[in-house]
Amino acid sequence: MTDTTDCLAADRLRMTPGPTEIPAPVRERMAEPAPNPDLEPEFFSCYRNLTDKLTRIHAAGPAGEAPATPDRDTVVLGGEGILGLEAAIASLVSPGDRVLCLSNGLYGDGFADFVEQYGGEPVRCEISWDETLDPNAVEAAIESADESFDVATVVHCETPTGTLNDLEPILDVLESHTIISVVDAVSSLGGAPVPTDRIDVCLGASQKCFSAPPGLATCTISDRAWDRIERVETASLYTDLEPWRTAADEGEEWFPYTHLAANVLGLDAAADLLLEEGLESVFDRHEAAATLCRDRAAELGLDPYPASHEACSPTVTALEFSGSATDLQERLRTEHDVVVATGLGELEDDIIRIGHMGHNARTERVERTMVALETALK
Ligand SMILES: Cc1ncc(COP(=O)(O)O)c(C=O)c1O
């Protein structure tokens, strides 16, 4: 049997780009008795409170301010982040539809795979993984295509490589062609401003910057996306977003399947923490943690994987490593009680990733990580 004593040690620091450390108020709320999600109206109130709070968090602009009446619905699915991505494609794409898939990384490519899986035809507009998306290239891809597009996909923060795309100019292009935008903001929502008020389907997950456990996917959906979702025949119940439009409406209190009550309570507590702190302060905290991480890495001679400083995400730092990143990761965990991530796929052994998102976006945590990294490198 595996001995879990070490990994339960209170002072182990988990600086991974999700799941993140879960603060005590979230854990305590999850341990409370929860209403039956199918039978007790109190659960529907919990769910509605949560979606209201998420709508406010999702709508927060760069200064943390939220519009008074954001005209988007937020739904929370029982399932981790990837369910939100798959559900968006399953619900918006019919067989034969051509979808513009913008990609500078693993999750951007993954959207194209989902499109294929649901019978659509992905038209890829790709750029190297250390760069960010170029709006001129997006415009050129749309102009040179034989037919127009109804739907486009884009990833805000490519967690595996630590890049953050500038969404505003990309959304300018998509809006000018009235293309429905599907944005994976899984590792940026709640850690960096996301222009959710301009996005048709904006996707998040509980275990990243919200610092709740994995298990819930959040989707903020515009009216025109709902209209399309209602027209598309989805071949699966689990990935169909349509039933969630009426679920938990006043007088329509039901969910397509049993909701994850404890997770909903935990995410609600996490949302309270973000709103109490204020989104402006939360975003500043992420920027400060990211800046410290990169400055300390530079002192250690480690370069960020993204090609420019502007391309780096405030929620995760990916550093190039000329030795074995997996060996370094192992030493940090076993000798220093600090857990970090490596690259994914072909980059597994070439990149070390430090998550400074959610509860972990604190300079003292980054400092302890970098001290451990410095010692491990010696
Ligand atoms: C950008 C991005 N999208 C989607 C996902 C998938 O989320 P999950 O692991 O919760 O399924 C992740 C997970 O790391 C991610 O980083």
Predicted confidence at residue 65, as pLDDT, reads 67
Shortest-distance Cα residue to atom 3 of ligand 1: 186
Bridge partners for 204 per DSSP = 218
Probe ligand 1: pick from 76, 82, 133, max atoms within 8 Å of CB?
A: 82
What CATH class does 25-276 carry?
A: alpha beta
Question: Which of the 8 DSSP states describes residue 310?
Answer: G
CATH architecture type of domain 13-18+278-377: Alpha-Beta Complex (3.90)
Ligand 1 neighbours by CB, cut-off 6 Å: 18, 80-82, 85, 107, 155, 157, 159, 184, 186-187, 205, 214
Query: Looking at ligand 1, which atom is closest to the CA of residue 160?
Result: 16
Judging by beta carbons within 10 Å of its beta carbon (0-12, 13-18, 19+), is residue 339 exposed, middle or buried? middle
From the CA of 345, how far away is ligand 1's center (Å)? 14
Angle at 197 between CA 194 and CA 201, to 5 degrees: 80
From the CA of 22, how far away is ligand 1's center (Å)? 17
Query: Looking at ligand 1, which atom is closest to the CA of residue 207?
Result: 10
From the CA of 81, how far away is ligand 1's center (Å)? 5
Pairing of strands 163-164, 157-158: antiparallel
From the CA of 82, how far away is ligand 1's center (Å)? 6
Q: Which stretches of the chain are assigned E, i.e. beta strand?
A: 13-14, 73-78, 98-103, 121-126, 151-155, 157-158, 163-164, 180-184, 201-205, 216-221, 316-320, 338-339, 341-342, 351-355
Probe ligand 1: pick from 159, 203, 316, max atoms within 8 Å of CB?
A: 159
What ranges do the domains of the chain cover? 13-18+278-377, 25-276
Probe ligand 1: pick from 20, 101, 107, 342, max atoms within 8 Å of CB?
A: 107
Predicted confidence at residue 11, as pLDDT, reads 86
pLDDT tens sequence for the chain (378 residues): 455 555 556 689 999 999 999 999 999 999 999 999 999 999 999 999 999 999 889 877 666 666 544 578 999 999 999 999 999 999 999 999 999 999 999 999 999 999 999 999 999 999 999 999 999 999 999 999 988 999 999 999 999 999 999 999 999 999 999 999 999 999 999 999 999 999 999 999 999 999 999 999 999 999 999 999 999 999 899 999 999 998 877 778 889 999 999 999 999 999 999 999 999 999 999 999 999 999 999 999 999 999 999 999 999 999 999 999 999 999 999 999 999 999 999 999 999 999 999 999 999 999 999 999 999 999
Predicted confidence at residue 247, as pLDDT, reads 83
From the CA of 5, how far away is ligand 1's center (Å)? 28
Which helix H or strand E contains 325, and what residues bound it?
Answer: helix 325-336
Predicted confidence at residue 7, as pLDDT, reads 57
Query: Looking at ligand 1, which atom is closest to the CA of residue 82?
Result: 11
Probe ligand 1: pick from 113, 157, 186, 209, max atoms within 8 Å of CB?
A: 186
